[in-house]
Amino acid sequence: MSKKLRVATTSLAGCFGCHMSFLDIDERLFPLLELVEFDRSPLTDIKHCGPCDIGIVEGGICNAENVHVLREFRKNCKILIAIGACAINGGLPAQRNHLDLGSCMTEVYLTEPGLAHGHIPNDPELPLPLDKVHPLHEVVKIDYFIPGCPPSGDAIWKFLTDLIAGKTPELGHGRIKYD
């Protein structure tokens, strides 16, 4: 291949479990690095995304900063992939969606025993939480989804190698998991 594909990754309202699982492709990282190079990613510590071929986003959208980062990825990435349960349906953070955000904050920071004289954090550096947690596809167009919590290293490898080979990615039994 004459030119390496440029890949960016990030974790929004996620736990970095999908990134850890990505590292579970183990020694296959070496053949992968023959084909791709990394732009913005926890692996490179590059802070902003440049023009990329593939963007991989873990986690859902729970605050204003998540929206900005996701839009930066969409703007710069030809192909955008949602990876993991949270990116796909909101996952664990979305289990607050049937609750009122204000009463969540009140309970966590004010009325929960052991937090006497606490206050709801209001530092201007903190991104404002959204009323609801959203899957990525409700905010920008997503091209592909890799389900799992997290998807296994094998699932990620199969998906990415199919995609890089120009095939429609298929996971198949044992690699497609929602849990």
| CA separation for the pair 11, 46 (Å, rounded) | 13
Which residue is it, tokens 């991989």?
Answer: 56
Reference 160, options 28, 69, 71; nearest CA is 28
How would you classify the pairing of strands 52-58 and 5-11?
A: parallel
Contact between 15 and another protein by CB under 8 A: the answer reads: no
Strands 144-146 and 77-83: parallel
109 versus 178: smaller Cβ distance to another protein: 178
Of the residues 90, 129, 156, 158, which one makes contact with another protein according to CB under 8 A: 90
Mask of contacts with another protein, 67-86, x by CB under 8 A? ---------------x--x-
178 near another protein, rule: CB under 8 A: yes
DSSP 168: P
Question: Closest approach of Cβ 104 to another protein, in Å?
Answer: 14
Collapsing DSSP states into helix, strand and coil, what is residue 133? strand
Of 55, 59, 91, 129, the one binding another protein (CB under 8 A) is 91
Q: How many residues bind another protein (CB under 8 A)?
A: 30
Q: Which CB sits closer to another protein, 44 or 95?
A: 95
H helical segments located in the chain: 17-23, 29-35, 64-76, 85-89, 101-106, 153-164
Does residue number 98 form part of the binding site for another protein (CB under 8 A)? yes
The yes or no reply on residue 171 touching another protein (CB under 8 A) is: yes
Given 29, 149, 154, 162, the residue binding another protein (CB under 8 A) = 149
- Environment class of 167 (CB within 10 Å of its CB; exposed 0-12, middle 13-18, buried 19+): exposed
139 binds another protein (CB under 8 A): no
Q: Tell me the backbone φ, ψ of residue 72, rounded to 5 degrees.
A: -60, -40
The answer to the question of residue 57 lying near another protein (CB under 8 A) is no
Which residues would be at the binding site for another protein (CB under 8 A)? 82, 85, 88-92, 94-95, 97-98, 132, 135, 137-138, 142, 144-147, 149, 170-174, 176-179
